[in-house]
Structure 1
Amino acid sequence: MLVSHYQTPLVIASILVAIFASYFAISLAGTITKSDAKAARWWIAGGALAIGIGIWAMHFIGMLAFRLPIPLGYDFSITVLSLALPIGVSALALWQASRPELSVKSLVVSALLMGAGITAMHYTGMAAMRMQPGIVYDPLLFVTSAFIAVSASGAAMWIAFRLRQGTKNIMLTRFCAAVVMGSAIVGMHYTGMAAAEFPLGSICMAATDGVSQDSLALIVIIATFGIFTIAMTASLFNARLESRSQILALVQSTSDERQDLLQREQTARHLADNLGLQNEQLLKSSEERKRLYETILNTIPDFVYIFEFGEVHHHFAYANEELLKLFGRTYEETVGKTFLELGYEPWHAEMHDKEIDTVRTTKKPLRGEVFFDGAFGRRMYDYIFVPVFDEQGEVKCVAGTTRDVTDRYNVREALKENEIVLRQSEKALREADMRKDDFLAMLAHELRNPLAPISAAAHIMSLSNFDEARVRNSTEIIQRQVKHMVGLVDDLLDVSRVNRGLVIIENSPQDMLAVISDSVEQVKPLIDSKQQTLSLQIESRPVSVLGDFKRLVQVVSNLLNNAAKYTPAQGNISLSLETADDQVTITITDDGIGIIPEDQKLIFDLFAQAKRSSDRSQGGLGLGLALVKTLVQLHDGTVSCHSEGLGSGSQFTIRLPLHAKESAAA
């Protein structure tokens, strides 16, 4: 291969031409943007010519700097063709830079076209030497030169588009950008030159009939700087004209603004006079409204207040008279204070601080109820916190009102309690109704049972032809059943008298030993018939209570009768009498079938009868224990029941006040 070298002065000249062309292109982009459509077209045409010649000149100056050990020349027609290519791509670049927007797609497409044009210009210029044999190109360096051309084109358009928007130190910025662009253009050129290799024995066919290197160099340099000088002069002249036009426009604008200011000043004076009067009226009206609002807020019974935000604890910014009375403080002693400083409990203060934070964050009202101990005592208060917004829609403070709802709260709680009582009463009524129905069924059964033997006995008497034995037996049956029915009716009458308050207790000192003796005597036939054992544990000394002998016997005999009825044959019954603490205690215990816990709670209720057996063999209306309880209470005593459950027997305990004389004797 032929050995080549470069002449340094021409290399430097090519670099300066590239930088100068880049600077001119960047400056011209701003000029085109500021011009109208017609002027912009002329600037694009002239600028493309100047910049294209500049790029072409840089290329051929670089070519002239290139030296081979053989004579070199350039074909004139091919050289002119290589000039047309940069002029066209320069026009494309200036047109893109003058557009309002530069999209990524437009930038990429334009960079590819411009890069292809510059690359084509370079290698067309190389072809102008008409080398024989032809020039050999290194593929990698060839591709690299084309890539540099495309990258330099894209960078040039992007820089020109950005710099037209204006920036500080525009001259320095443009110069730096021109250095970058010029260096890229030069880099592309010399990379392309490095890609070229000339075989030994190569001959430049254009050296004999083409333009010589020295002549072409002189022409290129003179033409380049001449065109650049004319272009820059035109650009500067246009910039001066634009500057002068801008100054004139600024002067005109300033004059118009001054005239406008004078008119506004006159108008402002008139407005000021009117506003002075209006402001005075508005101030007076505002003061009147303030007094009106203060009067309203200070006369309503509710508490009205405003909170301002603190970092941790919020404080009062306003409080009406009613709230000041609650605190027992003056306005000055309240405003600016936190909840804790005004005597709120820590939990109460923390709760309100959190609620105010919630209103501030959510921008929504919040409502609640709370007790508070103040000058009016412990009262229930209903309160609501609402956000107050500024012009930007942010919460600047929180306002609130509080109302004393203690009476309403008490009524509400009373209603709740009454509702509970009503529910309990309703339940009790339902249960009583059920017991009534059960009682009516038992009554019908108990009254019907004696009628069957009475009817049978009467029928036998009608058929006996006055057989004395049969008549006597039938008479005994009738008497026994009638006695049973009379007992049932007596129980009903007693209950009726007790419920209507017609039972009169004839209070007088009664010997409890005599009461127990009569009671045992009444129940003894039933106990003996079932072969049961009755044991008595009674104090030997006399024990008396104040009461009605007949009713006391009725109470004890009723309990003994129940024990005998619900204790199986050969069972055990015990009765004990004790005195202690001015009280007589009578306890009747059996080992009968017992009572389930659920029935023990209702055993003394009217119409109640313990579920001691699955049939009605024991009879009864369930009135006896209710009557016992009522009669004991009429004697200022109590009666209770206890059982461990079915099969565990039962225990009934009567407690009566000991008679005063007996108490004193004890």
Structure 2
Amino acid sequence: MKKSNDLILHIFIFVTAQLAWFLLLGLWIYWYVTNYILLNKVGGKISPQIITGTTNIIALVSGIVLLVMLSISMSLIFVYLNRQLNLTRLYDNFIANVSHELKSPLSSIQLYLETMHKMPVPRDKQHEFLNLMLKDVKRLNHLINSILYLSSLEQKKMVKQVTYDYYVYNADSIIRQVIGEALSEFKFPGKSVSIEGHVDCQCVIDRNWLKIVIKNLIDNAVKYSPNKAQIDIRLSTGTKKFYIEFSDQGVGIAPRNQKKIFSKFERIYNPASPNVKGTGLGLYWVKQIVAYHGGKISVESAGLNRGTTFKIALPIYEVSKKRYINRLLRLSKKYKPAMKVSDE
């Protein structure tokens, strides 16, 4: 309700300001026209030196241009402020979600430790408690890393501060290997994930960041599939790029929300999965990491409950974006003992 009231207030202020500008412009034109008519009536009785029509026209045109410029400037300021207010709202939601996500595992760890401290616990139960606490620690570590990743991405220094591990790989081999590593962290039945196609080319990637991309897309498919997740991964090669497509049979994305999902802190509510938790950063990272590799990511969905397909396009080495990719390789060589060329 508060968001709706704020939006109405901002729109009211903007419209009022615009009306004020147009009213001033109207008064200005009225003043010029009335003076022009008056001068025409009494023009014969006044010395020609006094009548300066050109000056009046210049003043009128200058005033109109100034008012138009002010109006455009105000419109741009309004759009910018509206975006900042929306970002602030999303940031507040992010803080609330992260606070809850941090508190939950900490409370769980505290409970297990207090139980073990205050009373004797059988050895088998101790192992169970330790495993649960390790699980909560991993969850906390993931959240903390999420915040660190966000910080590095925001400063546009992900490559510079975090890693310079861009190397030349056989695209098909490294993609299948990284997908296998990512899938090992999820519990999937044998036939719930399929990989089709091949990419017979070389690429330049950071395998650690590629793994984060793939893990986020798999995690997304799992979270937003009410029934058992079915993920179809397709690999293909174009003229200058190769493609990785992730398709699921989940809840889908409404067309109006498909552009929003890559925005920072953005979380789209879906009635089919109302209890899904998250920070709203996963797909934002995915888009940024793919961009740092010189690629692009897009999303396709026929609508709600009709599944989603994410398509990643990455440049083929020595064919596309040579200058950018070679720069990544030079920097990797500079910050590492030796550059690795792998056929993994």
424-433 or 506-515: bigger deviation:
506-515
For 2:212 and 2:247, how far apart are their aligned partners in 1?
17
1:404: how far off?
A: 7.2
For residues 188-247 of structure 1, the C-alpha deviation after alignment (integer angstroms, 9 at most, x for no partner) is xxxxxxxxxxxxxxxxxxxxxxxxxxxxxxxxxxxxxxxxxxxxxxxxxxxxxxxxxxxx
Counting only pairs closer than 5 Å after superposition, residues 449-528 of structure 1 correspond to structure 2 as 449-462=104-117, 465-504=120-159, 505-513=164-172, 514-528=174-188
The answer for the alignment partner of 1:534 in structure 2 is 193
1:459: how far off?
A: 3.5
CA contact (8 A) 2:298 2:311 kept: yes
For 2:72 and 2:147, how far apart are their aligned partners in 1?
36
For 1:430 and 1:470, how far apart are their aligned partners in 2?
50
Structure 2 residue 198 is matched with structure 1 residue 543: no
Taking a change above 3 Å as real, the CA distance of residues 597 and 663 of structure 1, as seen in their structure-2 partners, is closer
CA contact (8 A) 2:253 2:303 kept: yes
3-state SS of 2:158 partner? coil
Taking a change above 3 Å as real, the CA distance of residues 662 and 388 of structure 1, as seen in their structure-2 partners, is closer
Taking a change above 3 Å as real, the CA distance of residues 569 and 461 of structure 1, as seen in their structure-2 partners, is farther
The answer for the alignment partner of 2:41 in structure 1 is 388
Larger Rg: 1
Structure 2 residue 227 is matched with structure 1 residue 569: yes
**Gaps (5+ residues) in structure 2?**
1-29, 46-50, 323-344
3-state SS of 2:227 partner? coil
Q: Which amino acid aligns with 2:166?
A: N
Q: Which amino acid aligns with 1:599?
A: N
Q: Which amino acid aligns with 1:660?
A: E
For 1:429 and 1:512, how far apart are their aligned partners in 2?
40
3-state SS of 2:302 partner? coil
TM-score normalised over the length of structure 2:
0.71
CA contact (8 A) 1:516 1:556 kept: no
**Gaps (5+ residues) in structure 1?**
1-363, 369-382, 393-397
Equivalent position to 2:243, from 585, 590, 595: 585
Equivalent position to 1:651, from 288, 306, 309: 309
TM-score normalised over the length of structure 1:
0.38
1:608: how far off?
A: 0.9
Counting only pairs closer than 5 Å after superposition, residues 338-417 of structure 1 correspond to structure 2 as 367=33, 384=36, 386-389=39-42, 400-401=53-54, 402-403=57-58, 411-417=66-72
Taking a change above 3 Å as real, the CA distance of residues 414 and 658 of structure 1, as seen in their structure-2 partners, is farther
Aligned-residue CA RMSD in angstroms?
Answer: 3.2
CA contact (8 A) 2:98 2:279 kept: yes
For 1:659 and 1:461, how far apart are their aligned partners in 2?
56
CA contact (8 A) 1:594 1:643 kept: yes
For 1:428 and 1:637, how far apart are their aligned partners in 2?
26
Q: Which amino acid aligns with 1:470?
A: K
Q: Which amino acid aligns with 1:518?
A: V
1:635: how far off?
A: 1.5
1:496: how far off?
A: 0.6
1:617: how far off?
A: 4.0
For 1:658 and 1:391, how far apart are their aligned partners in 2?
80
For 2:306 and 2:261, how far apart are their aligned partners in 1?
16
Instruction: Report the identity percentage.
Output: 22
For 2:143 and 2:176, how far apart are their aligned partners in 1?
23
Structure 2 residue 74 is matched with structure 1 residue 419: yes
1:387: how far off?
A: 1.3
Taking a change above 3 Å as real, the CA distance of residues 553 and 414 of structure 1, as seen in their structure-2 partners, is farther
Counting only pairs closer than 5 Å after superposition, residues 239-278 of structure 1 correspond to structure 2 as none
Counting only pairs closer than 5 Å after superposition, residues 74-85 of structure 1 correspond to structure 2 as none
For 1:564 and 1:442, how far apart are their aligned partners in 2?
20
For 1:579 and 1:600, how far apart are their aligned partners in 2?
25
Taking a change above 3 Å as real, the CA distance of residues 416 and 636 of structure 1, as seen in their structure-2 partners, is farther
Counting only pairs closer than 5 Å after superposition, residues 275-314 of structure 1 correspond to structure 2 as none
CA contact (8 A) 2:240 2:319 kept: no
Taking a change above 3 Å as real, the CA distance of residues 615 and 662 of structure 1, as seen in their structure-2 partners, is closer
Structure 2 residue 237 is matched with structure 1 residue 602: no
Taking a change above 3 Å as real, the CA distance of residues 365 and 640 of structure 1, as seen in their structure-2 partners, is closer
Counting only pairs closer than 5 Å after superposition, residues 143-162 of structure 1 correspond to structure 2 as none
For residues 281-304 of structure 1, the C-alpha deviation after alignment (integer angstroms, 9 at most, x for no partner) is xxxxxxxxxxxxxxxxxxxxxxxx
CA contact (8 A) 1:642 1:650 kept: yes
1:552: how far off?
A: 1.6
Taking a change above 3 Å as real, the CA distance of residues 617 and 464 of structure 1, as seen in their structure-2 partners, is farther
For 1:527 and 1:440, how far apart are their aligned partners in 2?
29
1:614: how far off?
A: 7.1
